Chains A and B, each alone.
Chain A
Amino acid sequence: MSDNVKEITSVNFETEVLKSDTPVLVDFWAEWCGPCRAIGPVVDEIANDYNGKVSVGKLNVDNENQLAMQYGVRSIPALLVFNNGAVVNQIVGAVPKNRITDILNTVISS
């Protein structure tokens, strides 16, 4: 996992995600999910590419079931983009990097 990726838990969710100064990409994932493993390295790359502009976190749904339920995650990998405390976009499934960066670029420029 890249140093620029934070582990998100119910303890730090409010400070790291809801109250973040920058947009936040949260990767809802689990060990047993094949497509999550496929997209993991891409999320790491994005964390490095967007360092300072977008914070990137990973949320393990096995440990943080409540948060997954709260945000209506019913399929993983699910990438939720938060801005100013609210979900502004989400992507379900392993998608190519440019699908994710397109969305992040729109969020940054808005």
Chain B
Amino acid sequence: MNRKVIIIGSGPAGLTAALYTARANLNPLVFEGSQPGGQLTITTDVENYPGFPEGIMGPELMDKFRDQATRFGAECHFKHVTKVNFSEPPYKVWVADECYTAETIIIATGASAKMLGLESESELMGYGVSACATCDGYFFKDKKVIVVGGGDSAMEEAIYLTKFASEVLIVHRRDEFRASKIMVKRALNNLKIKVAWNTVLADILGTQKKGVHSVMLKDTQNDKTREEACDGVFMAIGHIPNTDLFVEALDADQAGYIFTKNGSTATNLDGVFACGDVQDNVYRQAVTAAGSGCMAAIDAEKYLENLHG
């Protein structure tokens, strides 16, 4: 069956696009990907989503987004798109060997935590290395952990981890944080948090069986390396857009963020739209993602109207 709309991604952008296209009777099919609900599902309290004055838990908010979209007929599948072909309409999307086609595609695949690229980092991911303090902090009760990064998410992770860990060492390559002042103040005032300035993580030592036992830290001022004992390493060095599937077909900037036309969600291909963090490296908020998801739905609806007259 050739669909009117396929939406790839299920964070605030994808599910808002699903809500709007469902209400426009376009019967959207949503591929939720490997992290249904997106990045908010690995946070705790969301305090800045309007309409929830007391705050709301990230996973709960995303359940509400999904419920609202499915109420109007959006079909959400916990499936991960593995290949696309946008060379001509109808556009093709594969989930392993199953092929789906649609007249329009809305890309809302968001962004993922960036990794340093160390071999030990990927080997020990889930075995002491983590990109999600709220998921894994619990396993580091009374242990010493390292947080790598200097932005708001690094501060947030470090502060959150003090609920469990005995000591949190923030490793940052510069001599000041780029995080907002309020977050830096909260972090530096916390007695459990220490900072290694001008320092980079050179290696992580441990095994999958026994976990992490230490890290190698390099001082960028004098290039000296030292070993620091710790039980866990949390990466918070920023995000990369999830655009591997689309780089051939779509214009993107050097970091991989998809280009959209000013004031719209249109990409360089007619009928392919992009919304949320996958095309936004500036605002990156749930509410801006939701807003652009709504734009993508309206853009897709208009495109289909013009197509069918």
Interface residues of A, Cβ cutoff 8 Å to B:
30, 32-35, 37-38, 41-42, 61, 68, 72-76, 78, 92-98
By beta carbon, the residue of chain B nearest A31 is B59
Q: Which residues of A contact B210 (CB under 8 A)?
A: 72
* 19 chain-A/chain-B pairs, Cβ below 8 angstroms: A33-B135, A34-B43, A35-B42, A35-B135, A37-B59, A38-B35, A38-B36, A38-B41, A38-B78, A41-B78, A42-B78, A61-B138, A72-B211, A74-B140, A75-B126, A75-B127, A75-B135, A75-B136, A94-B36
Q: Which of B124-146 contact A (CB under 8 A)?
A: 125-128, 130, 132, 134-136, 138-140
Q: Is B192 an interface residue (CB 8 A)?
A: no
What separation, in Å, do the CA atoms of A37 and B62 have in the docked complex? Answer: 11
* Contact of A95 with B211 at beta-carbon distance under 8 Å, contacts A35-B41, A37-B59, A75-B127 already known: no
Report B's interface with A, CB cutoff 8 A.
32, 34-37, 40-44, 58-59, 62-63, 78-80, 96, 125-128, 130, 132, 134-136, 138-140, 208-211, 232
Decide: A76 and B136 in contact? CB cutoff 8 A: yes
In the complex, the answer to whether A74 meets B126 with C-beta atoms within 8 Å is yes
Interchain nearest-CB distance for A90 vs B (Å)? 9
* Of B36, B78, B126, B208, the contact of A93 (CB 8 Å cutoff): B126
The 4 closest A-B pairs by CB, nearest first: A92-B126, A34-B41, A34-B59, A75-B126
By beta carbon, the residue of chain A nearest B36 is A38
Determine the chain B residues whose CB is within 8 A of the CB of A78 once the complex forms: 126
A45: shortest Cβ distance to chain B, in Å? 9
Interchain CA distance A97-B32 in the complex, whole Å: 12
Contacts of A95 in B (CB 8 A): 34
The residues of B that contact A96 with a CB separation of less than 8 Å are 34, 78-80
Closest CB in chain A relative to B200 CB, distance in Å: 23
Q: Which of B43, B78, B208, B232: most chain A CB closer than 10 A? A: B78
Write the chain B residue with the least CB distance to A61: B138
CB contacts (< 8 Å) of A38 on chain B: these are 32, 35-37, 41, 78
